[in-house]
Amino acid sequence: MNKLKRMQFWGKDQDDDSLIIEIMEGKKTATACKADEYHLSEGEFDDGNWQVGDIVEVYDLREKLRCKIEITEVYKTPFGNFPDKLWKEENCCSAEHFRDAHRSCWPEYDLRDDFEMMATHFKLIDN
């Protein structure tokens, strides 16, 4: 049996499970990261480089398995001109809300309009 890929969702701190709860409630079905870091692993519980069709175990920051998702779409998109489906499936109120949220959680990046993100869409398959 092949080992499933893993993913973690970062909140405000180690105890913030709000993004995982949104996934488990079916509200959040997409995420974004810096495009040139997409292929990188962020540790034992976050493999990176997810591909369409991958079944992925979602872990909280306490390393507890919370649910499984299936990757349905992956694409590169600029910060200044991403499709509406990205902000909607990220469970944001608007494109500007998406931009504000990512400016807040990615303060180390210069989020100009041409900043390249990798969007990953998924569906919940087990929680």
Give CA–CA dist 125/84, Å, rounded.
24
6 Cβ contact partners less than 8 Å away, ≥ 6 residues apart: 44, 45, 46, 47, 56, 57, 58, 59
Q: What is the pLDDT of residue 1?
A: 52
* Structural domain that includes position 27: 5-126
Q: What is the CATH number of the domain that holds 72?
A: 3.10.400.10
Q: How many domains does the chain have?
A: 1
**pTM above the 0.85 mark?**
yes
**pLDDT level of residue 3 (50, 70, 90 thresholds):** confident
pLDDT digits (tens, 9 = 90+) for 17-27: 899 999 999 99
- At residue 66, φ and ψ (nearest 5 deg) are -110, -35
pLDDT digits (tens, 9 = 90+) for 54-103: 999 999 988 999 999 999 999 999 999 999 999 999 999 999 999 999 99
